[in-house]
Amino acid sequence: MIDHFNLPVIDLGRSRHFYEHVLAPLGLRFILQDGSAVGFGTDTWAFGIVVMREAFPKLHLAFAAESRSAVDRFFEAALSLGAQSNDAPGFRAKYDPSYYAAFVFDPDGHNIEAVCRRP
């Protein structure tokens, strides 16, 4: 449905370091840098970060994880980089009986989630 998405950030270097580490457990890697934007994906740019100097709203973005252990590794990677937890890994039955997710705030305060919906 969506080909790619770019998230606004303040400090490109800080955010690139953060996302390189937290997206690795989800199978995404650095693809390329194009000026003030950095792209991540498997083979092509699927998720990007781009510098925006003006104020912007905080967003919620959920990444699909292949397994519950990938969700756990995402959360551990984020915390090891100093991210603040917004909710530890666990089931969220109110969303779906098999909804297993973890939430963190990225360096710019965006609510970043990893979710596995597999039973």
Q: By three-state DSSP, how is residue 119 classified?
A: coil
pLDDT in tens, 36-79: 999 999 999 999 999 998 878 999 999 999 999 999 999 999 99
Distance CA 34, CA 4 (A): 15
**In this predicted structure, what is the pLDDT of residue 105?**
98
Residue extents of the structural domains in the chain: 5-116
**In this predicted structure, what is the pLDDT of residue 1?**
74
Of 73, 62, 78, give the one whose Cα is nearest residue 114.
Answer: 62
Which residues are CB-neighbours of 1 under 8 A, at least 6 positions away? Answer: none
Using the 8-state DSSP alphabet, how is residue 78 labeled? Answer: H
The pTM is what?
A: 0.93
pLDDT in tens, 5-40: 999 999 999 999 999 999 999 999 999 999 999 999
Q: The CATH number of 5-116 is which of 1.10.3720.10, 2.40.270.10, 2.102.10.10, 3.10.180.10?
A: 3.10.180.10
Handedness of CA 98, 104, 108, 111 (dihedral sign): positive
